[in-house]
Structure 1
Amino acid sequence: MQKKLVVMIPAFNEQETIEEVVKGIPKKVIGFSKVEVLVVDDGSTDKTLENARKAKADKIVKHVKNKGLGNAFRTGLDNALRMGADIIVNIDADGQFNPKDIERLCAPVLEGKADMATCSRFALKEFQPKMPLSKKIGNWLFTKAISVAAGKKFTDTQCGFRAYSRETALRMTLFGKFTYTQEVFMDLANKGFDIVEVPCKLAREQRKGKSKIVKNWFDYGLKAMLIIARSLRDYKPLAFFGSIGIIIFAIGTLAIATAFGNWLFTGETTPFTSLIPAGGAMLVLGFALVMLALIADMLGRQRKIQEEILYRLKKQEIEKEEKND
């Protein structure tokens, strides 16, 4: 059976590297009868578009203005599916990853061993890139947080060099504008998709120019943690709201118990009088959050039904377009 690979490259102001990256995509990859390159220009103000055309990318989609990597990634997925992709590979436009690794990255997905294969820069010691300690710690912390939230151990969740099956791409539900790397892990892991890591060595350890995503590590960390928190809220509302509610309820109970215990032994609530209204408020708030957790969990089932409807509509629309072509 003939299979088609679409390699998509989201790009924003990458005029120095986009031509090199597009030309570096192998024309022949084992397991595929056709390989096409899709560039998503996310509102670049330099010569990214011209250089992508010069490199003869098979398809170029341009955002009128910069919408963020998350939006560019979703645009890429949608267009890759409409191009008839059986497997979609996403690779960064800065030239840090080696296009020759595309074949290795696609292999687990082609063989049916994974729904998504993601490059890991840290799985093998000899492949680990040199980077500032702060960046290394940040990568480790995010990877640890996502591994715990997703219920599976990973070594690198910040890398965008990945391969997705067609079914996986159709099933993804993403909302982040800023980035997509963490949200994809959360979305697919919580839907039961198989994710494997493929050790890869960077083609170059230092990118040309400054990162378009990580302009400030504190700001990046804050936005990424917000994405993780929202994913936990959406996929595990019972645990997310329930645990907070139980903790607040327990603190409120302890506050009132302290004041009550003092009254039993001394006949007075002083000096713990102020704990009574504070504890009462915490009991009410904690109870409300537990109720909210139960309601949110119930709504989570409705979300799954809506996602199934969205998947079927999307699949039907794309299949209809393919028949017309």
Structure 2
Amino acid sequence: MKVIIGLPAFNEEKNIASTIAKLQKFSYTIVVCNDGSSDMTGTIAEKMGALVVNHQKNLGYGAGIRTLFTKAKELDADMLVTFDADGQHRVEDIENIIRPIETGEADIVIGSRFLNKTNDTNVPKYRKIGIKVITNVTNSSMNFKISDSQSGFRAYNKKVLKEVTPSEYGMGVSTEILIKANKSGFRFKEVPITILYEGETSTHNPVSHGVSVILSTMKFISIEHPLKFYGIPGMVFLAIGLFFIVWTIQAFTATRQIITNISLIGIGAIILGTMLTMTAILLYSLVNVVRERHSD
């Protein structure tokens, strides 16, 4: 199989050479997406013998992954393995990531930090909490439950490269790919990996990363499942509103006085519930029309 190892990289001149050197023990093609780095990342990668695709300016992690998908398709790759350029991933885990696709067991393989109990204890607590929250949100819209939705160490087969096109520019691309691939019926498998956190190699702010990913995940869930995302809360608010309106009417019948707070809660809940329900119906109709036109 023609395997490409893809590295999204932004200002990784300290790590890129050692990462590529370790990867060169394999016979796979190494492609680096230099995402508008202001340092020597691109130059070093080229001198190390990697195929480098340069962005003129920094577009974000998601844009880097999209470029790697595009380049893998151009090179007619049978498989793309995405691998962090910051030194956190171990090359020793690549064979385990690749094997399920080689044997036809899966279309997408995810390297999970939480299947290896020893590695699990090494994950910083704040990261573990954030990843678990994001993973639970992602799992709410998927048929296959995963343990690590934010792992960047993955393998994709040719079918996935052809049918899934990432559009998210930020860190939310990891969940976007999972949601789109799940909708297309691709098979998933997780394998344990070990992450090296020495020296705090990650360049992403954990707070902005978490917020970005959660918002992105909610956006894709709302598009894929509008009736669930908007409709269920809408019905709940309508029920709450009706309850308080009935309470207001009963109180008025008994005392001939309107309890302002109760009536305002009822009116507000009904308005919000109606808006959410209408949004669910309109978005569901719009998404289906777009899908029908796209399929034609």
- Rounded to whole Å, the distance in 2 between the matches of 1:103 and 1:208 is 25
Taking structure 1 as reference, are residues 242 and 168 closer, same or farther at Cα in structure 2, changes over 3 Å only? same
Q: What residue is the counterpart of 1:316 in the other structure?
A: none
Q: Does 1:238 align with 2:230?
A: no
- Rounded to whole Å, the distance in 2 between the matches of 1:279 and 1:44 is 54
Find the residue that maps to 1:150 and give its secondary structure.
coil
The equivalent position to 1:212 in structure 2, one of 183, 186, 203, is 203
Q: What residue is the counterpart of 2:85 in the other structure?
A: 93
- Rounded to whole Å, the distance in 2 between the matches of 1:73 and 1:134 is 25
- Rounded to whole Å, the distance in 1 between the matches of 2:247 and 2:157 is 57
Q: What residue is the counterpart of 1:60 in the other structure?
A: 52
Read off the aligned partner of 2:243 and give its amino acid letter.
Answer: L
- Aligned ranges for residues 33-112 of structure 1 at < 5 Å? 35-57=28-50, 59-112=51-104
Give 1:278 deviation, angstroms: 5.1
The equivalent position to 2:179 in structure 1, one of 177, 180, 186, is 186
Q: What residue is the counterpart of 1:268 in the other structure?
A: 256
Find the residue that maps to 1:197 and give its secondary structure.
strand
Q: What residue is the counterpart of 1:320 in the other structure?
A: none
Give 1:267 deviation, angstroms: 4.0
- Higher mean C-alpha displacement, 37-46 vs 273-282: 273-282
- Rounded to whole Å, the distance in 2 between the matches of 1:226 and 1:308 is 28
Structure 1, gaps ≥5 residues long: 30-34, 310-325
Give 1:116 deviation, angstroms: 0.4
Q: What residue is the counterpart of 1:258 in the other structure?
A: 247
Please give the root-mean-square deviation of Cα atoms over the aligned residues, in Å. Answer: 2.1
Task: Give % identity.
Answer: 29
Taking structure 1 as reference, are residues 303 and 26 closer, same or farther at Cα in structure 2, changes over 3 Å only? farther
- Rounded to whole Å, the distance in 2 between the matches of 1:155 and 1:173 is 23
- Rounded to whole Å, the distance in 2 between the matches of 1:18 and 1:136 is 26
Q: Does 1:300 align with 2:287?
A: yes
Find the residue that maps to 1:51 and give its secondary structure.
helix
Q: Does 1:24 align with 2:13?
A: no
Read off the aligned partner of 1:114 and give its amino acid letter.
Answer: A
- Rounded to whole Å, the distance in 1 between the matches of 2:46 and 2:96 is 27
- Rounded to whole Å, the distance in 2 between the matches of 1:306 and 1:94 is 42
Give 1:165 deviation, angstroms: 0.8
Taking structure 1 as reference, are residues 28 and 277 closer, same or farther at Cα in structure 2, changes over 3 Å only? closer
Give 1:131 deviation, angstroms: 3.1
- Aligned ranges for residues 97-136 of structure 1 at < 5 Å? 97-128=89-120, 130-136=122-128
Give 1:151 deviation, angstroms: 3.7
Read off the aligned partner of 1:50 and give its amino acid letter.
Answer: T
Give 1:285 deviation, angstroms: 3.8
- Aligned ranges for residues 165-204 of structure 1 at < 5 Å? 165-179=157-171, 180-202=173-195, 204=196
Write the deviation string for residues 189-210 of structure 1: whole angstroms up to 9, x where unpaired: 23322111011123x332565x
Write the deviation string for residues 44-97 of structure 1: whole angstroms up to 9, x where unpaired: 11111111012101x210011111101111011101110111111100001211
Taking structure 1 as reference, are residues 26 and 54 closer, same or farther at Cα in structure 2, changes over 3 Å only? closer
Taking structure 1 as reference, are residues 282 and 221 closer, same or farther at Cα in structure 2, changes over 3 Å only? same
Read off the aligned partner of 2:57 and give its amino acid letter.
Answer: K
Find the residue that maps to 1:185 and give its secondary structure.
helix
The size of the alignment, in residue pairs, is 295
- Rounded to whole Å, the distance in 1 between the matches of 2:186 and 2:240 is 38
- Rounded to whole Å, the distance in 2 between the matches of 1:212 and 1:124 is 24
- Rounded to whole Å, the distance in 2 between the matches of 1:124 and 1:208 is 20
Find the residue that maps to 1:149 and give its secondary structure.
coil
Read off the aligned partner of 1:7 and give its amino acid letter.
Answer: I
